Amino acid sequence: MANQIRPPVVTIMGHVDHGKTTLLDYIRKTNVQSKEAGGITQHIGAYQANHQGKKITFIDTPGHAAFAKMRQRGAELTDIVVLVVAVNDGVKPQTIESIRHIKQSNVSVIVALNKTDLKDVQPDVVKGELAEHDILVTDIGGEVEAVELSAKTGKGVDKLLDTINAMAELLDLRADALLPLEAIVIESAINQHKGCVASVIVKQGTLKIRQELITADNQTTGRVRALTNEQGQSLQEVLPGNPAEIQSFDQVPDVGAIIHDAQAEYKQEEVITKEVVSTDDPDAGWDFEAAFAGEKEKLKLIIKADVRGTLEAILQTIDEESAEIISSGVGIVTESDVELAETTGARIIAFNTKVPNQVKRLAKQRGVKIKEYQIIYKLIEDLQKQMLKLIEPTIDEVQTGEAEILQIFKMKGRKIAGCKIITGEIKKSDLLHIKRDEEILFNPVIASIQHNKDEVDKVTAKSECGITFKQKKLDFEVGDKITAYYVEDD
């Protein structure tokens, strides 16, 4: 079983209502016989199709969220992305967003031109729109395979599966089932009957019943009590490229967490590579970079604009020494933008484009800043001010409180800062710096403040409290200072 061919792992992405779910459902139904026990396919976040005697593993989760969270933890998993574009609707904001994720991940892509059963549709027009975003299909001289299909009727779906198999063969996807286990969490939850469960895809090694497991960050452990596939069938072992649901863990592991065999030996540098994402990864977590790479903090930005010309004008004003563009694009601000901002510590700039109310609510819940502009010189002026503050961070800042970290506790995989308030007060809604020897390390967002046994909204001078932050892996130490402040208006 050493270095054997494994099934490809495929993620379906695209704009809402372009047929992603319909396509997945059609493939699923043609691969599950109603005569089987119950005839029901469970939702475990992934399932397998068998086409021409070859297995294909599909990730059946929200593509953008899964991509962002997995890439944040260095868990590159997907081999092929199928980009679904409805030919009656063309390239839309979430299509562009999907293309961004595809390019950042450097993953192979197949375009599925869906809804070709409708009248008067023009697939060639859509191919031209895709070309504007650097997705060049073979029909117009590019290298990206495009398949015209109807997820509703099934026409062309077999050709899509043929194309996936052909691409997998070219990629020569291999894994070693004898190496120490490495599996990636794609979904996790608490089930009232099963306890903590995690849906995983095995990347290398073999996942087995009664195996002792631990996440690569040593935060979550467990012993495999049960393994099941998407049809609810019990499994004894799971080989590379295959999905399963695990009943095992003492707490719910994070999406994107890397699962190891607790009894196996792993090379230390191998684990660090998995846990610490490279500094040139645009989706990299800024706290990892500061902790391990020693790089000076940059202003991290996600920029959305109404048209491409304006976007390019904004991007040309960015100083690369003090700011980093996590992503940029044309269209409305989406929930995926907020999720990406949360995982990377970025703020969102929206120029002359819509921020839906549900996105604003999500941003508030996640502690993500969204700044909207209609006047370009005002946007540029503000950005330049913010970049200047990285050189002299106290410009326009008024300190309202300071605390010292006296102790550090761990609970359910999260670090809690045991603090004493030295001056002023610290509120849950405050802007914060964490400093060491007057150098700003992080700008965290408070998740909760615990005073005695109560959760409170603020603490005042001479009080002691426990503070948890929304960013999970801040590398603070005893003796670090927490400064609360607000920005004085001009």
- CATH for 286-391 (1.10.10.10, 2.40.30.10, 3.40.309.10, 3.40.50.10050): 3.40.50.10050
* Superfamily, domain 4-174: P-loop containing nucleotide triphosphate hydrolases (3.40.50.300)
Contact of 400 with 406, CB cutoff 8 Å: no
Whose tokens are 């260095």? That residue is: 74
By percentage, how much of the chain surpasses pLDDT 90? 41
Write out the DSSP string of 400-463.
Answer: EEEEEEEEEEEETTEEEEEEEEEEEEEETT-EEEEEETTEEEE---EEEEEETTEEESEEETT-
**Residue 376 region, left (φ>0) first, then alpha (ψ -120 to 50), else beta?**
alpha
Of the candidate ranges 88-102, 212-226, 380-394, 467-481, the one whose mean pLDDT is the lowest: 380-394
* pLDDT bucket at 42, cuts 50 / 70 / 90: low
Q: What is the mean pLDDT of residues 272-279?
A: 32
* pLDDT bucket at 278, cuts 50 / 70 / 90: very low
Q: What is the mean pLDDT of residues 160-179?
A: 95
Mean pLDDT across the chain, nearest whole number?
Answer: 82
Contact of 196 with 166, CB cutoff 8 Å: no
Fold match flag (4-174 vs 286-391):
yes
Q: What are the residues facing 146 on neighbouring strands?
A: 111
CATH of domain 182-274: 2.40.30.10
Q: Cα(441)–Cα(436) distance, rounded to whole angstroms?
A: 7
Q: What is the mean pLDDT of residues 186-207?
A: 87
Alpha helices (runs of H) in 133-263, residue ranges in sequence order: 157-171
Helix (H, G, I), strand (E, B) or coil at 486: strand
Q: What is the mean pLDDT of residues 230-254?
A: 90
- Can you read off the two tokens belonging to residue 110? 């197949």
Residue 392 CB contacts under 8 Å (≥ 6 apart), including other chains: none
* pLDDT bucket at 226, cuts 50 / 70 / 90: very high
Burial of 403: CB neighbours in 10 Å, binned 0-12, 13-18, 19+: buried
| Long-range contact pairs involving 33-42 (C-beta distance under 8 Å, separation at least 24) | 36/231, 37/232, 38/232, 40/231, 40/232, 41/230, 41/231, 42/228, 42/230, 42/231, 42/232, 42/245
Q: Cα(385)–Cα(1) distance, rounded to whole angstroms?
A: 58
Per-residue pLDDT tens over the stretch 377-430: 778 777 776 766 554 555 467 889 999 999 998 887 788 999 999 989 999 988
Contact of 324 with 281, CB cutoff 8 Å: no
Contact of 370 with 355, CB cutoff 8 Å: yes
- Asked if the model's pLDDT at residue 356 lies above 60, the reply is yes
- Asked if the model's pLDDT at residue 211 lies above 70, the reply is yes
* pLDDT bucket at 320, cuts 50 / 70 / 90: confident
* The predicted structure's pLDDT at residue 69: 58
* pLDDT bucket at 31, cuts 50 / 70 / 90: low
Burial of 435: CB neighbours in 10 Å, binned 0-12, 13-18, 19+: middle
Domain spans, the chain: 4-174, 182-274, 286-391, 397-487
* The predicted structure's pLDDT at residue 81: 92
Q: What is the mean pLDDT of residues 190-197?
A: 82
Helix (H, G, I), strand (E, B) or coil at 282: coil
- Can you read off the two tokens belonging to residue 127? 């191919």
* The predicted structure's pLDDT at residue 313: 74
- Asked if the model's pLDDT at residue 252 lies above 50, the reply is yes
Q: Cα(333)–Cα(305) distance, rounded to whole angstroms?
A: 9
* pLDDT bucket at 39, cuts 50 / 70 / 90: very low
Q: Which of 40-49, 152-161, 356-365 has the highest mean pLDDT?
A: 152-161
- The CATH fold of domain 397-487: Elongation Factor Tu (Ef-tu); domain 3 (2.40.30)
Using alpha carbons only, what angle is made at residue 478 by residues 475 and 481, rounded to the nearest 5 degrees? 85
pTM above 0.85, yes or no: no
Nearest Cα neighbor of 45 from 244, 253, 203, 302 is 244
* The predicted structure's pLDDT at residue 169: 95
Q: What is the mean pLDDT of residues 293-308?
A: 72
What are the distances in angstroms from CA 435 to CA 188, 282, 337, 404, 480?
34, 25, 28, 10, 6
Looking at residue 38, its amino acid is G
Contact of 215 with 23, CB cutoff 8 Å: no
Q: What is the mean pLDDT of residues 219-233?
A: 90
- Asked if the model's pLDDT at residue 482 lies above 90, the reply is yes
* The predicted structure's pLDDT at residue 61: 60
- Asked if the model's pLDDT at residue 1 lies above 70, the reply is no
* pLDDT bucket at 56, cuts 50 / 70 / 90: very high
Contact of 201 with 48, CB cutoff 8 Å: no
